Each structure stands twice: as C-alpha cells, then as structure tokens.
Structure 1
Amino acid sequence: MQANNSAGHWSGDELDLDGYLNRIGFTGERAPTLATLGRLQRAHTTSIPFENVHAVLGKPLPIDLASVQERLVGRRRGGYCYEHVALFAAALERLGFGVTVVTGRVTLGFDRITPATHALVVVRCADDDRDWLCDVGFGSGPTAPIELADGAEVEGEGWRHRLERRPDEWGDTWWLLQYGPEGWTDRHTFRLVPQYPIDFAVGSHFVDTHPRSPFVKRLFAQRFTGREHHVLDATVWTTSFPDGTSTRQEIEPEQVGKLLAEVFDIAPAPEELDRILG
C-alpha cells in the first residue's frame, strides 16, 4: 500500500518534536530515511513503557495529540497502543515520512476473536519504495521496522518477528508472529485499511471503559529494554529474555510502587497507587 501523510491526519505540525525526541533519547539525523526510521523505532520502543493506570482508575483518557503528548512526553508516563501510535505517527508525519495507521486483532493468549483494537503504523520512507510495518505499541517490540512483505523477518538483539499474508474469504489478512521457546506464535492480525484519529477515539473508549476490556480489571505494565522484557500483571512480575528463558515473581502489594518506578519507569501519584492496590 502507498502510505500517505498528505492530509496531515496525525497532527504532526502540532507536535513538540524536540520534546518527543528528547523523551526517547534520539539524537540522530532527522531525514525521513529508512535508517532514521529504524533508529526512531528502537528509541521509542525501549524508552516509553506500556501501562494502563488510567483505565484501572476509571479516568477519562483524551486521545488527541495534545493530551497524549502531555502524558507520555510532559509527564513521562507510559501508555497503551493508541497513545504510542498517535505519538509515533505524529512524529513521523512531522519528519516527512509517509504514514498510514491500521488496526488489528490480538491473537496471542486468546482462543476467540478479539476486537480490532491494536494499532500499528505502515510507513513509506523518502529513500525506499517499500512499505514498512512499525509496531511500537505492543509493549514488547520489535525494535525495528518489518518490510510489509509475505515471509519478511526481522531480528533485533535476539528477538525474532515475522510477517505472513494469509488469504481468506475477505481478501488478505496479515499476521505478525513472534519466535519463542515453542517456535513461531501468532501475535496479532491486521488488514490494510487506513484508520484515523476518530477511529482511535472509538476504540479507546471501548478499551478504557467497557467492562469486558481486560485493561479496566487490573494493573498491566510492560517495559522492553531490548535485552529483556518486563511484564507486571497485577502483582506478578515476569521477565523474559531473547533465549526463551524467563523469571517469575509474586510481588507484595506494598512493593508495586517501587517496582513500577525502578523497573518500569512509571511513577503513579501516591493516591493513584492507593486506588490501584486498594
């Protein structure tokens, strides 16, 4: 597909680009090239954590760029896929990349059809005529773009991901797979249907407020460093490594705040922690 940002759908002109790049520790060239895209994706995925504190607290979550910027950049909080992608897409737009946002369904850990509430970005670079998939909002990489081609693979610091295009009665569905101890595992699907900020507003409302949404039921946070992947699910802390090994610990409730700050780089206010753990 031809990624297109001519309409400026993701408000790139409103982004505090210097603030965003400082947030992710990016100091490289700002040209819309494939090399820059790769460095941006790695910096973003290893700097901004995934978290759902707002949903657990029942707080309204405006998804416009100004609000997302204030949370993820200004307050240095984490977010979930809609927030990550809104910010990343705006940055790419501002830098001159071609940007198309799509959504998909998470399959990892589910044996049923899930809603199409995972957001991804398809990118076109100025120095390359291929389309590249950037999945910056899942919480566990990949740290590099994957060429939008059947069978394309990418490996970063030992973590492997692959794209497959599988035909069905409605056309082609793309599948993103990740490699682990049991081999290749389906992670999520998506179709090449452009999405816009209004679609994010609808999907975000479901994820944030619907009683069937997994994000409103308990604390969930992820931090991906490239070398390791940390997950906090309520009070269970799991750390996974590229070789397939992992550790698992049950954390006492009073330790959660310290763990969030030191491992996940998330620092909820004391009153927020009290409500989360209460």
Structure 2
Amino acid sequence: MTHPPGDLAWQGELLDLDAYLARIGYEGDRSPTLETLRRLQGGHVTSIPFENLEIFLGRPVLLGVEAVQDKLVRHRRGGYCFEHTELFAAALERLGFTFTALSARVSLGFDKLLPATHALVRVEVDGGLWICDVGFGAGPLAPLPFEDGAEAEQGGWAYRLERLTGDAGGLPGAQEWALHQRGPEGWLRRHTFMLAPSYRIDYEVGNHFVSTHPNSPFTGRAYSQRYAPDVQYQLDGTRLTATHADGRADAVEVRELEPGEVPKVLAETFGVELAAADASRLVGELSRARG
C-alpha cells in the first residue's frame, strides 16, 4: 500500500524489520491481517520494557526510528510511550497496515485536565477498527476492538473502551474516548483520547515535555515496567511492585530495594542491562534521592 510521504509517514523504510521481529519473538506470516496485528502487539508489550532511565541519567530521549531502534532493538533497552509507539508504527507501516497515530491524556483516576503525553494507534484491518496501545507498560496484550463498551479479558487482565458522552471540548461531532483497565481495586480510567491524528512532530513536542518539564512524572524519578501474561512488574525508584493477574487477595507484592540492588533487578526482572558506568551512576542518583 502507499503511505503519505515525508513528515506524515513513520519512517518504516528505515526500520530493520528482521531485527525488530526477532526482538519481539515474531516468526511466520507478515501479511497485514488481524492475526498478524495481534501477534505483533503481544510480542511487543511482553518483550520490550517501559523505562525512563535516560532522563534520570541526564541524557536526552531521542525519537525517530533510527534512534529508537538503536536503543530498544539493538541495545535491548526499553523506553516510554513515544519511543514504543514510533517503533510500532514504523513496523505497521513497513508491513502495510492502515493506521492513525493518536495522542492521549493520562488520568489514572484523576479528574484534573492533564497534557496529552501518551501515544497509541488505531488500526484498520480486516474490515474493523482496533486500538493498539503498546507503550503504557501495562498492556493490553492484544488490540482492543474500537467499539463503545468493548471489553477484553486477556489472561486475567481486563480492559474496556468507552465513548464519553457529549461533544469533546464543546466541538460538535468531536469524539472523546477512554481506555479503562481493571486493577486489584476495580476499574480505573487509564487515559482519554480524541480521534484527531497525531504525527511525529506532535510526539516530538510531547516527548520534550515529558523528558524535561519539572511537572513531568518522569523527570524526578527512575521508573520501569515489565508486562507479562501473568504478572506486571513496576520499579519506582527503589520500590519494586509485582501485580499478579489472577486476582487473588495478595495480588500485589511490594519490596523496598537497596540502591545497589537496582541494576541487578533491572537486568533479571526487566531485561534492562545497563553499562557499568550507567549502573554506577544510577545507584549514586538513587542513593542521593533516598537521602
């Protein structure tokens, strides 16, 4: 298929597709079908972790496929939503999918209006529309049907899409949607999004805010997530949390680490292996943050 040129495209021609598919454990058919999309998303979210360590280590977060695949694919690091979504979009473009990139406002239960600092895509495939959210660090494992009230149970994890009532922002006909996820305490609104398309330049703006602004949740702490079909791990500073998908009473386990333990946990639990100099610097920063 033909994609828009230049700044409207997602640099799929620059992607090392074989390396990306190997990174997410994908083998087999590469035709743009719903089954391929499901396998791509499942492989991506369970293979490439979410992390903001570049910010905490004092380095810029670079977008563009060449920079993102060098970090997430070749060096087997993780990243946050803009990095994940640009990489996924490039793969979709290269494989011939039709899609629209979107921006979302993360809420996580808060009513305050927050900036659009999350990225996701809506894909048109096999006659239907699907939401793919690969950069949140907490699934979903598979695309969600783009339908009001659609719910998906995925191995103990659950997600729901909702079209919000009224015209978004007072604009007639404007649609605003919410993605909910079920946690140990019930349903939680994760983020809201409108259907206006986003482009790489929009993600550059969002990335600048997230990686530099003092009000960003990622400029003052080291944060990582690793998602699997049965458990989600979060590392917030030195606090390690494991949330299990089976819904048992002790579904959430919390452990406080010593700063010196963090590089080993990042490698063994999150699949993030830092160079020795970066590991030493991270331990130092975490020690100073603890006081």
TM-score by length of 2: 0.91
Distance 1:30 1:249 in 2: 41
Given that 2:121 and 2:133 are in contact with CA atoms closer than 8 Å, whether structure 1 keeps it comes out as yes
Deviation at 1:211, TM superposition (A): 1.4
Q: Give the equivalent residue in structure 1 for 2:288.
A: none
Given that 1:65 and 1:86 are in contact with CA atoms closer than 8 Å, whether structure 2 keeps it comes out as yes
Runs of 4+ off more than 4 Å: none
Q: Does 1:145 align with 2:143?
A: yes
Q: Does 1:108 align with 2:114?
A: no
Distance 1:166 1:147 in 2: 16
Q: Give the equivalent residue in structure 1 for 2:239.
A: 236
Given that 1:240 and 1:247 are in contact with CA atoms closer than 8 Å, whether structure 2 keeps it comes out as yes
Structure 1: segments with no counterpart, 5+ residues: none
Distance 2:153 2:202 in 1: 31
- Selected match of 2:211 from 204, 208, 212: 208
Given that 1:5 and 1:93 are in contact with CA atoms closer than 8 Å, whether structure 2 keeps it comes out as no
Q: Does 1:221 align with 2:218?
A: no
Q: Give the equivalent residue in structure 1 for 2:190.
A: 187
Q: Give the equivalent residue in structure 1 for 2:93.
A: 93
Find the residue that maps to 1:216 and give its secondary structure. coil
**1:131-178 deviation digits (Å, cap 9, x = unpaired):** 100000000100010111101111211111010001233332100001
Given that 2:15 and 2:90 are in contact with CA atoms closer than 8 Å, whether structure 1 keeps it comes out as yes
Q: Give the equivalent residue in structure 2 for 1:7.
A: 4
Distance 1:145 1:267 in 2: 29
Deviation at 1:5, TM superposition (A): 6.7
Report percent identity of matched pairs. Answer: 52
Q: Give the equivalent residue in structure 1 for 2:263.
A: 257
Structure 2: segments with no counterpart, 5+ residues: 285-291
Distance 1:240 1:19 in 2: 30
Q: Give the equivalent residue in structure 1 for 2:131.
A: 133
Q: Give the equivalent residue in structure 2 for 1:63.
A: 63
Deviation at 1:6, TM superposition (A): 2.1
Give the letter for the 2:197 counterpart. Answer: P
Find the residue that maps to 2:94 and give its secondary structure. helix
Find the residue that maps to 2:196 and give its secondary structure. coil
TM-score by length of 1: 0.95
Distance 1:101 1:162 in 2: 20
Given that 2:68 and 2:87 are in contact with CA atoms closer than 8 Å, whether structure 1 keeps it comes out as yes
Give the letter for the 2:230 counterpart. Answer: R
Q: Give the equivalent residue in structure 1 for 2:157.
A: 159
